[in-house]
Structure 1
Amino acid sequence: MADLKELVSAVVEMREDEAMALTKKLLADGTPPLAVFDAYQAALEEIGKRFEQQLYFIPELIMSGEMMKAASEIIKPLLADQSGGQGKQRLGKVVIATVEGDIHDIGKNIVAMMMDLGGLEVRDLGVDVPADRIIAEAKDFGADIIGLSGLLTLAFDPMKQVVEKLQAEGLRDKIKVIIGGGQMDEQVCKYVGADAFVTDAVAGVNYCKGWLA
């Protein structure tokens, strides 16, 4: 029987066909979709570490991103089914983006989808988004919350820039900031100046809904 550790290894070692086959088998065997997502997130963390150690380079990041996108096409409908289609009443508005310098998006995409299913109105800005654009979009959208995603440690400073620009615009007290990614922790949250950090999609959605309740 396939297990999640095998999936992590396949993704990290760039065995694309094996990773997709394992993803499908795990889900068919009844593994919770979020557990499969967590395995991909663990693989992304290791790939990020190898990139920073110069063991992996841009081609590996791009290939891992493609694997994540392919997996998300399978995982997202299953998560939608679990939601039961609830949450049509909009609780508030969230702008979400992967910050400048980072191109990973599977976690952001799943969070954005789960927020939408959970009753939040979401504007997804994509990947590698500069701080100025995030602020401009948040103002235009009337955002209650800004969600910043990043896998690599180089995402920390761009996240901090968003908070600093919010303060400069006089909006920091009006807009909550949540950061997400495998390497986020309390220390990074304090450095960035965010209101909360998360390392999984469900926690991110719950934080936002709690703030807007």
Structure 2
Amino acid sequence: MSREEEILDGLYENTLNGMAPPVVELTKEGIALNMDPMVLLFDALIPALEEVGRLFEIGEYFVPEMLIAAKAMSGAMEILQPLIAESGAEPLGTFLMGTVKGDIHDIGKNLCNVMLEGAGFKVIDIGVNVAPETFVEAIKEHKPDAVGMSAFLTTTMPMFITNIEAIEEAGLRDQVKILVGGAPVTQEYCDTVGADGFAPDANSCVRLTKQLLGIPA
């Protein structure tokens, strides 16, 4: 086995097991050996994250395991993203993400961000406690393909409606797909507020975004 193959295998296994330091070191070594950043991403890191998602769905992994795997991947992404941008590789699309006004929970949001970036999306995170007018201004500025709104509290879930109404009033609703998520959110609630989709976890967020944007899985 060549050193390049060993690096890809190591990246896969260490990402799967949430071992951040080896993932960063192997990524740096791969770049030093002139390996293509896209190969590191698509032949090792993304497959590892997809396997993490699969293990989560069948109940072998839980949120803590997903978080440490995502953290390991994000260390590699910090190194790879500038190189991928330099190479002119086009992202699959732009995803704008924020937690709604009155809510400062960000674990689920951050996990979705890493999974989306790993899948090839450009992610713009506008943070927590985001007011409706901030969502509107960010859509105008960044022209995303999709917008994600997170609410962890039942008391902040009604902000979905407020945000979507503000986006409609600004004449931007037909320009973006809107996804909602968070612990208390359901598909029924998503349908009620007029969002395009509901993602119960980070893995389904990626799958649903691709589906809504017509991108092959």
| Cα 1:211/1:82, change in 2 over 3 Å | farther
In the alignment, structure 1 residue 36 sits paired with structure 2 residue 62 = yes
Preserved contact between residue 183 and residue 199 of structure 1 (Cα < 8 Å): no
Task: Supply the RMSD in Å over aligned alpha carbons.
Answer: 3.0
Partners of 2:128 and 2:69 lie apart in 1 by 20
How big is the shift at 1:27? 6.6
Preserved contact between residue 107 and residue 181 of structure 1 (Cα < 8 Å): yes
- Name stretches of at least 5 consecutive residues in structure 1 with no aligned partner: 1-25, 41-70
Residue of structure 2 in register with 1:107 after alignment: 108
In the alignment, structure 1 residue 96 sits paired with structure 2 residue 97 = yes
Considering only CA atoms, is the larger Rg found in Structure 1 or Structure 2?
2
Give the 3-state SS of the residue equivalent to 1:154 in structure 2. Answer: coil
Partners of 1:107 and 1:184 lie apart in 2 by 12
**Cα deviation 1:14-43 (Å, max 9, x = unaligned):** xxxxxxxxxxxx979xxx585231x69xxx
User: TM-score, normalization: structure 2?
Assistant: 0.62
| Cα 1:123/1:81, change in 2 over 3 Å | closer
Partners of 1:191 and 1:123 lie apart in 2 by 26
Listed as ranges, the matches of 1:1-213 within 5 Å are 34=56, 35-37=61-63, 72=67, 74-79=68-73, 89-212=90-213, 213=215
How big is the shift at 1:106? 0.6
**Cα deviation 1:26-74 (Å, max 9, x = unaligned):** 979xxx585231x69xxxxxxxxxxxxxxxxxxxxxxxxxxxxxx94x3
How big is the shift at 1:148? 0.3
Give the 3-state SS of the residue equivalent to 2:178 in structure 1. Answer: strand
Partners of 1:168 and 1:77 lie apart in 2 by 38
How big is the shift at 1:210? 2.0
Give the 3-state SS of the residue equivalent to 1:177 in structure 2. Answer: strand
Partners of 1:188 and 1:166 lie apart in 2 by 18
Q: Which runs of 4+ in 1 moved over 3 A?
A: 77-83, 85-89
| Cα 1:81/1:140, change in 2 over 3 Å | closer
Give the 3-state SS of the residue equivalent to 1:151 in structure 2. Answer: coil
Partners of 1:91 and 1:36 lie apart in 2 by 27
Preserved contact between residue 92 and residue 121 of structure 1 (Cα < 8 Å): yes
- Name stretches of at least 5 consecutive residues in structure 2 with no aligned partner: 1-16, 20-51
Partners of 1:77 and 1:157 lie apart in 2 by 31
How big is the shift at 1:80? 5.6
How big is the shift at 1:102? 0.8
Aligned residue identity for 2:70 = K
